[in-house]
A and B are shown apart, each in its own frame.
Chain A
Amino acid sequence: MISNSSAERVLCAALETGADFAELFAEDCDRNRLTMSDGRIEQSLSSHRHGAGVRVMRGAQSAYAYTADTGEAALIDTARAAAAALSGSAKPHTLQFMKKAYATPQKISLSGVTNDRRVALMHQAHAAGKAVSEKVRQFTLSYMDEVQRVLICNTEGVWAEDVRPRTRMGILAVASEGAAAERGLEAPGCCRGFESYRDRIDVEASARKAAERAVLLLSAKDCPGGNMPVVISGGFGGVIFHEACGHSLEATSVGPGNSEFCGKLNTKIAAPCVSAMDDGTIPFEWGSINIDDEGTPGQKNLLIENGILKSYLVDRVGAQRLHLPLTGSSRRQDYTFAPTSRMTNTFICPGKDDPDEMIRTMGTGLYAATLGGGSVNPLTGEFNFAVAEGYWVRDGKIVCPVRGAMLIGKGAEILQRIDRVGPSMWMAQGMCGSVSGSVPTNVGQPVIRVTSITVGGKGGEL
């Protein structure tokens, strides 16, 4: 992508104004996207993203410049544009790169797959989903695959190349009856080649699930609002931890003092039944990484152990501010963003409680079987997320499906109110948006119970 000697000259230019660290990130990414509507391929696009960014740092100060032109002259200009943020003179530096190359294995290379195979897969999903019910009026499928090739090198001698294949299918079913219309969404993804659809992802099952949820919601009643106990299922339910806690453990928030968990390392921040992990090393998983976008290998980070906060997610700027080691958590959407601390595969670890007992003994409240997305203000810990598939529970028994529920609360309070954690954990795929763009992440958890949470909904008594 870029030669050793070119990279050296670019990094030297970046150091001209007294930076104590400089980094070059170059990227070349091929992506294919197809969309299907009503069983017909409607759009097909290919894109080739290509560019590079140079970051300079002095202490926790950083400057980033990027360009789509990766010729040496343009890169040196870009390095100088970043360096212009500092004023000083170059310190002596000798550069010696330690070269490492990484690549996620692919049995069926995404670059070699023809559109015909992608199209066949989409038809397969469509047929399975459409067969669920006549009430499913509309099916929109979006298929995506990409292979991102990156080079990260810096003035500390890191030279890391990585090949990152990913593929995902988004399935949106719309069911309607009379004037009512509801939707069901599934979006399985994997960090491997096209064999993912043979070995890991069952698109037919996902399409059926999306269709069934849309149909189910047609008969759902509006969820009542108020404070109540909530049992949250596994998989995408883990978005509660992602929003309520994960973002607030990112050094981006903790470093400048903008997190409710600042200064809380080795103190109790959650109920004793809660342990949580961010693990970028799990093979195949959507949020996994070989190396992060600063070149640090992905790692397993125990965030909370039996309620005690054990680690933050730390990138290079965060390490400067917090004086903590890097955790392999620095990520970015592409070269148009400087990297920052982000999550990978984040989940609450399995416990020992029986999910049936959780519902049986909860009294009246909500069982959230599938969650939608959410967001958080890390400073205050106030989060919100939508319940995609919910059930009303009265006297420990499931009564009926409910729609339109939103859960809100404060992260620190919710973590203390988890009183049950089930024995098996599973994960689901999502895209997480933050200051360094949109990155693929997994969320996960076993079935858990929260003793009290504010549920928003417009329904009356059920």
Chain B
Amino acid sequence: MEIKSTDNDSFRLVYDKCYSVLIRICYHVVYNMDIAEDLVQEAFERFYLKNITFPNEDEARYWLIRVVRNLALNHLRRGKRESAMLDKVRNRAAGKAADKDAQRILDEGETIKEVRKAVSELPENLRMVIILKEYGGLDYKSIGKVLGISEGNVKIRVHRARKKLEESLAGDEAYVY
């Protein structure tokens, strides 16, 4: 089905179908729920305002994931100082999402911290692939489309990312074979 981004029905359809994937991917790049929400929202705004016609739902989804990925990476690159200040302000403004987020990390203890550290330390090309795979639930073909690389390349990157994660998580108490 053709998707016209300014058509209200198409927009709603894409929004409902893609939101979960987008927020998961975005959250695992920036690790902050409030920021992730803002960035995903910005991606949908761009989607609507760009007035693009996609041949099908999948293409619209790839486009959105690409935009969210870029927004999230840009956010990270903008510098830790700025984002740290922003986080402070956001948390002070009692962001509901951020509160829940913090609570969850507290509940889950060290495991989440270790996982995040391991994922964050991956080189960007491997990190993005593993986030799209493990959190976005995308298959190799979709990952290839989003990142503009071949399926074979995706396969290799997923494997390398897992190897690296295995190394960095090895010896961690929380990681039980």
- Pair from one complex: no
